[in-house]
């Protein structure tokens, strides 16, 4: 069977996302907002667009499985988590080999770029998207400070939701983006089993959830 192109994948993914908008009752204004950001990413770097949409759809699955998180929250947080890459060089987004310290510093800036892009319309989701990166191994980039009027409960909820967005993000990246991170000298994607091992190792606080998601064939 012929492998789908990135453009063909994008078309299928966006059609699936449209179905989720309807199922979840996403208001037209919010739907238009999400689609506008995704359209910009599709024009800039289609693989990152596809990654964001896959993560949004998987986040909805996760929320529906656990019954403890709002599916809309997972949709927004995952759809927005890499928007800052709109301001990152395509050459860096496509790089699969070893990164220099300068490459890492440039990429880390995308957290702040993304936060600034969506904060005025989707403040809660902007915090979730930004903080999701803080759960990644070796991340040393910018993270926004919580406003004083955010209650301890709100802050805790953002951090928990961000940890789930990070989980979905890391899984999709491992399965779909060839890199040297887990195979030095041999850029490749991880197998499902390798990705699960990596997630349990690097997100040990979610070990029980990861195992349940794997058993249910969601991960």
With respect to residue 157, please indicate whether it lies within any of the assigned structural domains. yes
Q: For residue 188, list its beta bridge partners.
A: 179
Dihedral angle at the C-alpha atoms of 11, 14, 19, 23, nearest 10 degrees? Answer: 170
Task: Assess contact for 62 and 69: CB atoms under 8 A.
Answer: yes
* Closest residue by Cα to residue 55 from 156, 197, 170, 199: 170
Give 96 or 70, the one with higher predicted confidence: 70
The stretch 118-130 carries a mean pLDDT of 97
The stretch 118-124 carries a mean pLDDT of 96
With respect to residue 138, please indicate whether it lies within any of the assigned structural domains. yes
The stretch 74-102 carries a mean pLDDT of 94
* Closest residue by Cα to residue 188 from 197, 196, 180, 199: 180
With respect to residue 156, please indicate whether it lies within any of the assigned structural domains. yes
With respect to residue 118, please indicate whether it lies within any of the assigned structural domains. yes
pLDDT score recorded for residue 140? 81
With respect to residue 1, please indicate whether it lies within any of the assigned structural domains. no
The stretch 123-151 carries a mean pLDDT of 93
Give 190 or 98, the one with higher predicted confidence: 190
With respect to residue 110, please indicate whether it lies within any of the assigned structural domains. yes
CATH for 195: 1.10.3210.10
Q: Does the structure show a pLDDT above 90 at 136?
A: no
pLDDT score recorded for residue 182? 65
Lowest mean pLDDT, pick from 29-38, 40-49, 174-183: 174-183
Domain of residue 161: give its range.
Answer: 6-215
With respect to residue 34, please indicate whether it lies within any of the assigned structural domains. yes
Q: Does the structure show a pLDDT above 90 at 156?
A: yes
DSSP sequence for 16-32: HHHHHHHHHT--HHHHH
With respect to residue 45, please indicate whether it lies within any of the assigned structural domains. yes
Q: Does the structure show a pLDDT above 90 at 91?
A: yes
Q: Does the structure show a pLDDT above 70 at 134?
A: yes
pLDDT score recorded for residue 141? 85
Cβ atoms within 10 Å of 166's Cβ, excluding its own: 25
> What percent of the chain is modeled with pLDDT above 70?
97
| Mean pLDDT taken over the chain | 94
Q: Would you say the pTM of this structure is higher than 0.85?
A: yes
Count of domains observed in the chain: 1
pLDDT digits (tens, 9 = 90+) for 4-39: 999 999 999 999 999 999 999 999 999 999 999 999
Q: Does the structure show a pLDDT above 60 at 52?
A: yes
The stretch 75-95 carries a mean pLDDT of 96
Q: Residue 139: pLDDT band by 50, 70, 90 thresholds? A: confident
The stretch 63-85 carries a mean pLDDT of 92
Non-local CB neighbours of 153 within 8 Å, separated by 6+ positions? none
């Amino acid at each position: 069977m012929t492998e789908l192109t990135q453009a063909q994948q994008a078309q299928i993914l966006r059609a699936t996302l449209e179905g989720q908008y309807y199922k979840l009752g996403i208001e037209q204004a919010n739907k238009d907002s999400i689609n506008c950001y995704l359209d910009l990413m599709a024009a800039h770097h289609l693989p990152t667009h596809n990654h964001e949409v896959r993560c949004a759809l998987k986040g909805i699955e996760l929320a529906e499985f656990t019954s403890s998180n709002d599916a809309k929250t997972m949709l927004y947080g995952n759809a927005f988590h890499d928007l800052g890459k709109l301001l990152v060089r395509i050459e860096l987004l496509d790089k699969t080999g070893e990164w220099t310290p300068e490459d890492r510093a440039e990429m880390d800036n995308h957290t702040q770029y993304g936060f600034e892009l969506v904060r005025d319309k989707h403040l809660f989701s902007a915090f979730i998207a930004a903080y999701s990166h803080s759960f990644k191994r070796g991340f040393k980039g910018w993270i926004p400070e919580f406003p004083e009027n955010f209650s301890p409960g709100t802050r805790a909820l953002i951090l928990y939701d961000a940890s789930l967005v990070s989980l979905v993000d890391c899984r999709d990246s491992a399965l779909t983006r060839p890199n040297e991170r887990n195979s030095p000298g041999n850029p490749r994607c991880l197998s499902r089993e390798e990705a699960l091992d990596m997630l349990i190792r690097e997100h040990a606080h979610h070990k029980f959830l990861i195992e349940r998601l794997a058993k249910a064939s969601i991960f």
